[in-house]
Structure 1
C-alpha cells in the first residue's frame, strides 16, 4: 500500500511521507522499549531495590522523552506530507483526465471523477498520518514488546508468538472483506452521483413529463443500491472488526493461562509475572486499535485502485516526433469506425479541400457528427486513415491536431462565468479588446446588449441563462478567436429561431475565410453555398458528392433531398374561420 501511494507522490511528497513514517517507526520502537523497561522497574520495586528502581525509572523516562520527540516530528512532518500528497494526487488525476481519450467520457464519469477528486484524494492524503501511523504503532510497538519478552521469559513470549500468525490472518481477512465492500460501495456512490447530476441537468425536460418519470426511478434505484451497499459494508466491516478483536483477546487469554500455570509451578516469580502480564495487556491494546483502523487502509486502497485504472486506460498512440502537415486539407481514406458496435462509417473516402467549405448531409444516424469527431481526433478509426495536410492524424499527434482544429458541436457547454471569459478560453493569450472583437464578429454583442452586466454577465451553469442558438454563437466566437486553420461546425440550426439562424449563418461566413471548414449542414443557405457537398447514404458510405449545381443536375438522391427541404421550408399553416 505504501509503495503504491509513493508511486503517485511528487519527489517532495515522497520524501515527506518517508520521513514521517521513519519518525513513526522510531516512536513506536521507543514506546515498545519504554514498556519493556517496566519489567525490571517493577521487579526492582517488588524486591525493594530502590536504587536499581531509580536507575530503571530514569531509563524509562529517557525512552518516553525520545518517544514524545519522535511523535512530535511525525505529526509536524505528517501535516506537510498530507498537503503535498493531496497536491500530487490531484495533479496526477488532472493529468489522467486530460490525457484520456474522449471516448472514455462517452459514458458519464462525473460521479467517479468527483469522488476521486474530493473525498477519495482527501482520504488518501491524510491516511499516512491519521491511519497508517496508528496501524504501524499498533504492530511495531507490540512487536518490540514481544521480542523483548524473550529476554525475561521465553515461555510467555512463545505463548504470545503462537498467536501472531492467527492474528495476522485475521487482519488480512478484515482488510480484504472491508476492501471488497468499499469497492462495491464506491461504484454505487459513483452511479448515484451520475444519476443525481443527470437528474439536475434534465430538469426542464423532466418537469414536462410529470412525476413518476423514468429519471425518477433511475435516481431512486441508484440511491437504493447505494444504501444497500453501505449497509453491507457496515455489516461486513463490523463482523470483521469484531472477529479480529476476539482473536486479539484470545492471545491475552493464552498468556494468562500460561502465566498462571508457570506461577503455580513456581517457575516464574510473581514480580516478573505481573510485569509481563502488564506488557501482555499493552501488547493487545494497539492491535485492537490497528484492527479498527485496518478498514481505513482498505478504503484508501480503493482510491489507489481507481487511479491505477486511470493509468491502465489505453491512450491514443502518440508519435515520438510529431510530423508537420503540408497544408490543412482533410482526407478520409477507407475509414471504418463504430462506437464499440456495428460500424457507423464503412470504407468512407472523401477530401475536404483546404480553404473551402465542405458540407456533410445525410439522414439521421448516418455518421455526420462522427466524421467531425474523427477529424478532431476524439477517436482513431478502426480501419483506414484520417489525414490532415497529407499526414495521418496519429503521426501528427493529439497536440498538433488540437492546435489545428477548432470544433463547434451541437452540445455547447459554457462555464458558469462571464460571457467574455467563455469566449476568452478560445485563446487566453489575446487581449480583452481582441476577444470582444472576435465575439462581435459572431454577433455575440447582440446577446450582450440584452443582459445586465454586458460582457461581464454570467451565463449560468452550462450556459443556462442563454438559449441554444446563443450558446452556439459563443462557441463560434471561440473558434474565431482560436483562429485555427480547420473548423468543424455541427450546425444544427433546424430548431433555432430565425434571429439566431441568421446570426449563425453570418458567423459561418466569417469563419469561411482562408480556412478548411467542414459543416454538418442543415441550413439550405449553408448547403447551397458549400464548395463541396458530401451526402452520406445511411449505411456508412457516400451516396453522392459534388457541388450543389452538379448534384441538382444529376437528379439523384441529393436532388430529391433538396426538393424535400425546400418544400418543407415553404410550408405554412393555414387557419380557418
Structure 2
C-alpha cells in the first residue's frame, strides 16, 4: 500500500509521506512502550508492597503524556498531508490527462475518470488522514509489545510471535477477497453512473417514445448488475473480515491458555499473569482494529491502482524542440495506415491532399474511415504508418499547442461548458474582446438566440448546453471556431439532424467560417458535396475515386451510384413533406 502510494504521488510528495509515516510509527512505538509499562506496574500493584508501584505509575503517566503529544502531532500532520494530497492528485491527474491523446477519452474511460477524480481522490485522502496511523499501530505496536514480553516471560512472548504470522496470513487473505469484490463493484458503479447520465441527458428522446425509468433496459441492467455486485461484496467480503477477526481471537485464546497453564504449575505468579494478559490484550487490540480498517484500506488500494493505471497511460509524444509554425496550410495524408485495434485496419495506405485555401469533401459508406481522417489530422491518435502533414510539417513535429492553434473543429456532437453563451464563444480565444466575441456570434447568428433569452449573451447554457437545442449549440460551436480564426477547418457532419431553420443558420455560419480557409468536410448533404473543390470517395480505408462533382458523375463509378441514392432519398423526403 505504502509503495503504491509513493508511486502514485511522485517524488515531490514522497518525502512528506515518509515524515507522516515516521511520526505515526513513533506514536505507535510510544503506545507499545506505555502498554509494556503496565506489566511492572500491575505486578508490583498486586504484589506484597503496592507502594512500589508509584515509580511505575509516574513512568506510565510520562510515557502516556509523550505518546499523546506525538499522536496529536501525527494526526495533525496526517490531516494536513491529506488536504495537500487531494490538491496534488487533482493537479497530477489534470496535468497528465491534458497530455494524453484525444482518442484516449472514450465514453467508458471518461466515466471512470470522473469517478476516479471525484470519489476516488476522496478515498485516497481518507486513507492518508485516517488509515495510515491505525495501520502503523496494527503492526508496530504489537511488535513493541512482543519485544517487551521477552523481558517478562519468553514463553508467552514466543507464543505471541508464533501467532503473528497466522494473523498476518488471515489479513492478507481477507484483503484479497475484498480487493476482488472492489474491482467488480467499481466496474458496476462506473457502468451505472454512465447509464444514469445517459438516461438524464436523453430524456426528450426517451419520453418521445414513452420510455420511463422502468422501461430503460440499459439502466435497469446496470442497476441489477450493481445490486448483484453489492450482494457479492457482502457474501464474499464479510467472511474475509470475520475470518481475520476469528484468527486474531484464536491467537489471543492460545496465549490465554498458555498463561493459565504456566500460572497453574507455578511458573508465573498471579500478578505477573494478570499483567501479561493485559499486555496480550494490547497485542491483539490493534490487530483487531486492522480488521475493521481492512475493507477501507483495500478499497483505497484499488483506487490507487486505478490512479496508477491512468498515470501510466502514455502521453501524446511531443517534439523535443518546438519548431517554427507552418507558413502554408495545406493538409496531406501520405500512405497512412491506422486501426483502432490489431484486428482491423480502418485506413490502409490512405493518400489525400487538401491544397491550401481549398475545400475537400469526404464521402463514402459508413465505416469507410471519413471521421477517422479528421481525427488523425487533429492528432487524436498517431498513425500506425505513413505521415499526416499540416503546412508541409508532420503533425508529430508540432506541439499540441502549435497544432491546435492551426485547426478549428466543428463536429456533429457539440459540447458546451457550464456558463454563459458569451463564455462558450470566448473559449475559442480567451484574450478576445467582448466586441470580437459578439461579432463572431453575429456571423453564426447566435445573436438571434441571445435576443430571445432573458439574460441575452449572459444566458446560461447548462451543463453540456442542455438549455439549448442541438442547432443552437451548433451555432455557438461555429461562433467559437470563427473567433479562433484558424487557417484549417475540420467539419464532421456539422449540419446533420438539424431542422430547416437551424440548418440555414448553420450553413450561413459555415460559409463565413470556411471562407479563404483550408477545409476538410465530412458531409452527407448534397449542397455541401456539390460545392466542394474536390470530392474524395472512400471505401475500404482508401480513396477509390476523386475529382469534382461533375467529373465523378461523368466517371460513372461509385460516386455516381452514391449520388443517385442520395437524390432518390431526397426526393422521397420532399414528397413525404408535401
Please give the TM-score of this superposition, normalised by the length of structure 1: 0.93
Confirm or deny that 1:369 pairs with 2:384: no
The correspondence for 2:536, drawn from 530, 534, 551, is: 534
- 1:403 alignment partner in structure 2: 405
Q: Are positions 1:308 and 2:336 aligned together?
A: no
Displacement of 1:242 in angstroms is: 1.4
Q: 1:432 aligns with which of 430, 434, 437?
A: 434
Is the alpha carbon distance of 1:167 and 1:568 closer, same or farther for their aligned partners in structure 2, counting shifts above 3 Å? Answer: closer
Q: Is contact 1:20–1:73 with CA below 8 Å preserved after alignment? A: no
Aligned pair partner of 2:520 in 518, 521, 538 = 518
- Paired residue for 1:348? 350
Task: Give the Cα separation in 2 of the matches to 1:355 and 1:197.
Answer: 41
| Displacement after TM superposition at 1:323 (Å) | 4.0
Q: What is the CA deviation profile of residues 434-464 of structure 1, one whole-angstrom value per residue up to 9, with x for unaligned ones?
A: 2111121222112212222111112223222
Query: Which residue matches 1:547?
Result: 548
Q: What is the aligned length? A: 575
Residue in structure 2 matched with residue 297 of structure 1 by the alignment: 297
Q: How far apart are residue 560 of structure 1 and its match?
A: 5.6
CA contact (8 A) 2:45 2:51 kept: no
- Cα distance in 1 for partners of 2:366, 2:238 equals 54
In structure 2, relative to structure 1, the CA distance for the partners of 1:219 and 1:543 (3 Å cut) is same
* Larger CA deviation: 146-155 vs 210-219: 210-219
What secondary structure does 2:98 align onto?
A: helix
Given that 2:101 and 2:380 are in contact with CA atoms closer than 8 Å, whether structure 1 keeps it comes out as yes
For 1:156 and 1:437, how far apart are their aligned partners in 2?
85
Q: Deviations over 1:285-304 (max 9, x none)?
A: 12111122122111101001
Q: CA deviation at 1:330?
A: 0.5
- Match in the other structure for 1:143: 143
Per the TM alignment, residue 211 of structure 1 is displaced from its structure 2 partner at its CA by: 4.2
Distance 1:109 1:575 in 2: 42
Q: Distance in 2 between matches of 1:440 and 1:68?
A: 68
Aligned to 2:237: 237
CA-to-partner distance for each residue in 1:376-433, whole Å, 9 max, x for gaps? Answer: 1112223322111222222224333222211110111112321111111111122222
Instruction: For residue 124 of structure 1, report the CA deviation from its aligned partner.
Output: 0.8
Q: Is the 8 A contact 1:12 1:84 kept in 2?
A: no
CA distance in 2, matches of 1:30, 1:368: 68
SS at match of 2:216: helix
Match of residue 498 from structure 1: 500
2:388 is paired with a residue of what secondary structure?
strand
Contact 1:199 1:215 in 2 (8 A): no
Contact 1:330 1:388 (8 Å CA) reproduced: yes
- State how far apart, in whole Å, the 1-side matches of 2:562 and 2:248 are: 80
Could you tell me which of 472, 475, 481 is aligned with 2:474? 472
Q: Distance in 2 between matches of 1:17 and 1:563?
A: 69
Report what 1:282 is aligned to.
Answer: 282
Cα distance, 1:476 vs structure 2: 1.0
1:405 touches 1:488 (CA, 8 Å); kept in 2? yes
Counterpart position of 1:338: 339
Aligned to 2:491: 489
Q: How does 1:243-262 map to 2 (within 5 A)?
A: 243-262=243-262
User: Is this contact kept in 2: 1:132–1:297, CA < 8 A?
Assistant: no
Say if 1:54 and 1:574 are closer, same or farther in 2 by CA, change over 3 A: closer
Q: Which region of structure 1 is more displaced relative to structure 2, 337-346 or 483-492?
A: 337-346
Instruction: Measure, in 2, the Cα distance between the counterparts of 1:512 and 1:200.
Output: 35
CA distance in 2, matches of 1:183, 1:41: 49
Superposition RMSD in Å: 2.5
Match of 1:393 in 2: 395
CA shift digits 1:97-152 (9 cap, x unpaired): 32332333334334312221222110111212312211211221221111001011
287-296 or 47-56, which deviates more: 47-56
Deviations 1:52-76 (A, max 9, x none): 3211111111100001001111121
Deviates more, 1:78-87 or 1:397-406: 397-406
Counterpart secondary structure, 1:428:
coil
**Residues 27-76 of structure 1: per-residue CA shift (max 9 Å, x gap):** 11111111111111122222344553211111111100001001111121
The equivalent of 1:182 in structure 2 is: 182
Distance (whole Å) between structure 2 residues aligned to residue 168 and residue 243 of structure 1: 12
Partner of 1:122: 122
Q: How does 1:443-454 map onto structure 2 within 5 Å? A: 443-454=445-456
Structure 1's 242 and 491: CA in aligned 2 closer, same or farther, altered over 3 A?
Answer: closer
Tell me by how many angstroms 1:6 deviates.
Answer: 2.6
Unaligned runs of 5+ in 1: none
Give the whole-Å Cα distance in 2 for the aligned partners of 1:253 and 1:213: 54
Instruction: State the secondary structure of the residue aligned to 1:501.
Output: helix
Report the equivalent of 2:46: 46
Correspondence for 1:359: 361
What is the aligned partner in structure 2 of residue 463 from structure 1? 465
The 1:563/1:274 distance shift into structure 2, 3 A limit, reads closer
Aligned equivalents of 2:175, 2:576: Cα separation in 1:
74
Distance (whole Å) between structure 2 residues aligned to residue 214 and residue 401 of structure 1: 47
2:65 — aligned with what? 65
Change (3 A) 1:468 1:489: same
Query: CA 1:563/1:243 → structure 2, altered by over 3 Å: closer, same or farther?
Result: closer
Cα distance, 1:318 vs. partner? 2.9
Moved more, 120-129 or 339-348: 339-348
1:507 paired to 2:512? no
2:381 is paired with a residue whose SS is coil
Q: Distance in 1 between matches of 2:306 and 2:577?
A: 62
Instruction: List gaps (5 residues or longer) in structure 2.
Output: none
Give the distance between the partners of 2:17 and 2:106, measured in 1 at CA: 37
Q: Is the CA contact (8 Å cut-off) linking 1:177 and 1:236 kept in structure 2?
A: yes
* C-alpha distance in structure 1 between counterparts of 2:150 and 2:576, whole Å: 103
The answer to whether the Cα contact below 8 Å between 2:7 and 2:308 also exists between their aligned partners in 1 is: no
Alpha-carbon offset, residue 214 of structure 1: 10
